[in-house]
Chains A and B, each alone.
Chain A
Amino acid sequence: MRSITLSQAVNEAIAEEMRLDSSVFLIGEDVAEAGTPFKITSGLVEEFGTERVIDTPISEPGFMGLAVGAAMTGSRPIVDIMFGDFLFLIMDQLCNQAAKAHYMSGGKLNVPLVVRTNLGATRRSAAQHSQSLHALVSHIPGLKVAMPSSAYEAKGLLKTAIRDDNPVVIFEDKLMYQDKADVPEDEYLIPFGEAAVLQEGNQVTLIGTSSMRQVCEEAALILADEKISVEIIDPRTLVPLDEKTILNSAKKTGRVVVVDEGHQNFGVTAEIASRISEKAFYHLDAPVIRMGAMDVPVPFSPVLEDLTVPTAEKVASNARKIIAGELVHEL
């Protein structure tokens, strides 16, 4: 099978859906000739023209609002939010307007749009270009949230997102745009709400979202040297969340470490850990461990920034401790 980058996978997903459905268009800052700062949408304007690949002023709330109105009246916009940090700028349009229109109208209106954005620290971009804010939107009923962990997931999830009749926020890890993975030439979709079990094992479950899947896979390699059997799960979508696959694994291994790059406090790791604690408690042999990003604004200095994100070594260390019956946190 051919191998392509995550960036190419996203580009292919958009192009394929735009060919299939004339109501799909792309809107955002520098998405046309510039192809975004990450060069993800390069070539699309040449194929689809400036009517469907629309460069906007630097007005995130404005063009997000335009997308809501266009979606409400029959279009299927893909909104490019250049950095996940800029989600704060579009919160009213995304959370008060897009997320609630279907419910508030008793099902009369709907807003089929996709917000494509990114997450991920360690790009030395400091606190306003490095955040992982997916927990924020996962909290709002009416939004769906997808977290691709490789080029394969990026393409399949984005195509599903574009076809979804609801507002979807999809987060790509900006450090993974050049990472390659096997991606079929033939069309495929990845359904929402279906986690991937990437490796089966029976002593500990590592749950990793987005690039934290790779961190979990590296941790599993470390643990494999120690003959520890690890199961790895990538939820792939946070909303809807495949609770069944997660709970089944927790019941099987009895030990879980949840790894996610959002802040740990009130975050995705907390949500998943609490669901496991509530619904699989009597199967557990150890507390469910949360590993999120440190609860500090992302610092610029590389030596500081690297301390803020979960690493394979730390994940392996925590897994080792709960298997040995040691405490991860002081009582």
Chain B
Amino acid sequence: MAKKINTNSESYLKMYSQMVKIRSFEDQANQLYLDAKMPGLTHMYSGEEAVAVGICEALTVKDKITSTHRGHGHCVAKGAELKQMFCELLGKEEGYCRGKGGSMHIADQSNGNLGANAIVGGSMGIATGSALRAKLNGDSDVTVCFFGDGATAQGLLYEVMNMAALWNLPVIYACENNGYSEYTATDEIAAGDILDRARAFGIEAHKVDGQDVLAVNKLATDLVARARKGEGPFFIELITYRYHGHHVGDINRTYYRSKEEEEDWKKNKDPIKILGDWLVSEKIASDDELQIIRDNIAAEAHVAVQYALEASYPNSNEVDMHVYMETT
């Protein structure tokens, strides 16, 4: 565990709560799938919570993120409400995108989330462009581009990192390396060291334990502050693990990874447990207090999902609405 980053117990407990919130959201979303109540598929973030929370807790509401098909964690971590998220997953009118985006396209502009993206690597240009806008306008916000190890195989990453480095853009490339590119081990798709790819452009690159939220947050806080001062871009590789398959329907997966490996991560490297143990050992919270936090958030997620199940679908007249924006 990293050393204390500040003496603010509140911020530790916030990180704990946010990670629990993501886990609770995903547990409910998975159940919606198993109960055949959710249209389509979704990609679970469970196991990777420390990445999204550690980074987003280093950001302000004005800072931007771009997200991925495995994006619920980023969305929650950046401040989204569970009710509107569940409504979106179920294609309801009150969803963040009025039911038009679904799980893979949730965008929450009010909190600086420029959207999940169902094209692997598709948001790298968007994140870098947001940073270009910040630089051109003299805006102080920083943009974080979340993507997985699988997306490092997309050429776009290298085009935009080149420009970000040439122009010192305030963008942080956050590579969530969960060890698997869909159904294939990352070792089989990534040659060399991923960090070296960023370093080839002269981009300062760091590797961090993505299960240790305090370590992630400490590094992110430092890099965000430096990016704000014009020292960007930066690249972070966060070593993490997805507890579920590539998507909720990817149940039988022993052909690409063992159950023992999954159990080992869940038992010994769970980000919520790691922070919880530390909070108790540092006497910031007791086991009972953490249990209350978990129970309250689970109840909140339950209420939110029930709300979404009963919420209205969009009116049929919305089908051709929002294709074009009316220019005023």
Which residues on A are within 8 Å of B, measured CB to CB?
A: 23, 25, 51-52, 56-57, 59, 61-75, 77, 92-93, 96-97, 101-110, 141-142, 144, 163-166
Contact = CB atoms under 8 A, between A and B. Distances in A.
A109 to B, nearest CB: 6
A101 B115 contact: yes
**Most chain A beta carbons < 10 A, residue from B66, B125, B132:** B125
Interface string B124-153: 111111111110110000010000000000
A25 B125 contact: no
Contacts of B125: 61-69, 93, 97
B97 A69 contact: no
Contacts of A109: 107, 109, 114-115
Contacts of A106: 95-101, 322
5 contacts: A69-B126, A69-B128, A109-B107, A144-B324, A166-B327
Contact of A25 (B124, B136, B323): B136
Interface string B107-128: 1110000110101001111111
A49 to B, nearest CB: 11
Contact of B156 (A51, A65, A102, A142): A65
A108 B75 CA distance: 15
B287 interface: no
A72 B325 CA distance: 13
Contacts of A97: 117, 119, 122-123, 125-126
B155 interface: yes
Given A66-B129, A69-B127, A70-B132, 11 more contacts: A25-B136, A69-B131, A69-B143, A73-B133, A74-B133, A92-B119, A103-B100, A104-B97, A105-B100, A105-B105, A165-B326
A80 B125 CA distance: 16
B163 interface: yes
A102 B325 contact: yes
Interface string B284-328: 000000000000000000000000000000000000011111111
Interface of chain B, helix or strand or loop or mixed?
mixed
Interface of B: 64, 66, 95-101, 105, 107-109, 114-115, 117, 119, 122-134, 136-137, 143, 155-156, 159-160, 162-163, 166, 321-328
B232 to A, nearest CB: 14
Given A69-B126, A71-B129, A144-B324, A105 B160 contact: no
A102 B123 CA distance: 15
B242 to A, nearest CB: 24
A107 B321 contact: yes
B323 A72 contact: no
B247 to A, nearest CB: 19
A163 B327 contact: yes
Contacts of B322: 102-103, 105-107
A152 to B, nearest CB: 22
Task: Name the 9 nearest CB pairs between A and B, nearest first.
Answer: A65-B125, A69-B129, A62-B159, A106-B98, A69-B126, A66-B129, A59-B159, A106-B97, A70-B133
Contacts of A165: 325-328
Given A70-B132, A109-B109, A103 B115 contact: no
A65 B124 contact: yes
B122 A105 contact: no
A59 B191 CA distance: 23
**Most chain B beta carbons < 10 A, residue from A52, A70, A102:** A70
Contacts of B64: 73
B130 A107 contact: no
Contacts of A61: 125, 155-156, 159
A25 to B, nearest CB: 6
A93 B95 CA distance: 25
A104 B133 CA distance: 22
A65 B126 CA distance: 5
A65 to B, nearest CB: 1
B144 to A, nearest CB: 12
